[in-house]
Amino acid sequence: MNPPNWQTYLVTQASLSEGRSTLEIVEAAIAGGVDAVQLREKDTDARRRYELGLEVRELTAEAGVDLIVNDRVDIARAIDADGVHVGQSDLPVAVARGLLGSDAIVGCSASTVAEAREAEAEGADYLGVGTIYGTTSKDVDPEQDGVGPERVAAIADAVSIPIVGIGGITADNAGSVVEAGATGVAVISEITAADDPRAATEALAQAVETATPIENGGIANE
């Protein structure tokens, strides 16, 4: 497959959606032009993730939006997702690749240059780099500062696969992440918890679109 060239990437988490359904959030994000959706829903059992995944697959397929499943390769296959995203505590990239084949997208979370290099060597198609800014969306210390756009720049310099920044990204700071070398940004709260998830997606896309990637040895301009 071609390396994913996503500018905006929604990671789902029903518990942050202020009572709205994940489907409703995904629908709004698609209307707002999101490029990829990751079915995360970590606190939901496999049966529900599978059932929800079938519905999200229908919406994303209709819209031509890529669908990635967090962690579970089996659910990704069962709902015919485009790929899987694994973290450092999930199945190794090479194992996920072996199960899904070469046509699937396999992404990996990396917070250091070493993790990024290893994921690329194992065959990852893209990296989720973060936590960029301190965030309460995922299971990280909400007080931490995050690795910052500097880490994106360091990783972009070390690998040649696309990077999406994740963690505490908003329309206000997304530009810095892209300028540091990311292709796009992944968010949970910025879209999921927004008053208007569609407008939030559009604002994010606009911020990424207008950012000027630094012209250097990273992946920005290749």
> Residue 138, annotated ligand binder?
yes
Gap between the Cα atoms of 12 and 109, Å rounded: 16
Which residue, 92 or 134, has its beta carbon nearer to its own copies?
92
Cα–Cα distance for residue pair 206/208, rounded to 1 Å = 5
Report residue 167 as tokens. Answer: 């963690």
* Ligand-binding site membership of 212 (annotated): no
The smaller minimum CB distance to its own copies, of residues 59 and 95, is found at 95
Min dist CB 78 to its own copies, Å, is: 5
Q: Give the interface with its own copies as residue ranges (CB under 8 A).
A: 45-48, 50, 71-75, 77-78, 88-92, 95-96, 98-99
Tell the smallest beta-carbon distance from residue 41 to its own copies (Å): 13
Least distance (Å) from its own copies to the CB of residue 210? 38
The answer to whether 127 is a known ligand-binding residue is no
Backbone angles phi, psi at 51, to 5 degrees: -65, -45
Distances (CA, A) of 110 to 20, 91, 115: 30, 14, 5
Task: Kindly tell me which of 138 and 198 has the beta carbon lying closer to its own copies.
Answer: 138
Phi, psi of 8 (to 5 degrees): -130, 140
Is the CB of 77 or the CB of 117 nearer to its own copies? 77
Could you give the dihedral angle defined by the CA atoms of residues 180, 194, 85 and 6, in that order, rounded to the nearest 10 degrees?
-50
Q: How many residues does the chain have?
A: 222
Task: Determine whether the annotation assigns residue 136 to a binding site.
Answer: yes
Angle formed at CA 170 by CA 165 and CA 176, multiple of 5 degrees: 55
Taking the complex as a whole, the smallest distance from the CB of residue 141 to its own copies amounts, in Å, to 18
Nearer Cβ to its own copies (55/157): 55
Residue 146, amino acid: G
Q: Report whether 12 contacts 40 (CB < 8 A).
A: yes
- DSSP lists the bridge partners of residue 215 as none
Confirm whether residue 196 is marked as ligand binding: no
Shortest Cβ 88–its own copies spacing (Å): 7
Is 169 part of any known ligand binding site? no
Q: Which residues are part of a known binding site for Mg(2+)?
A: 71, 90
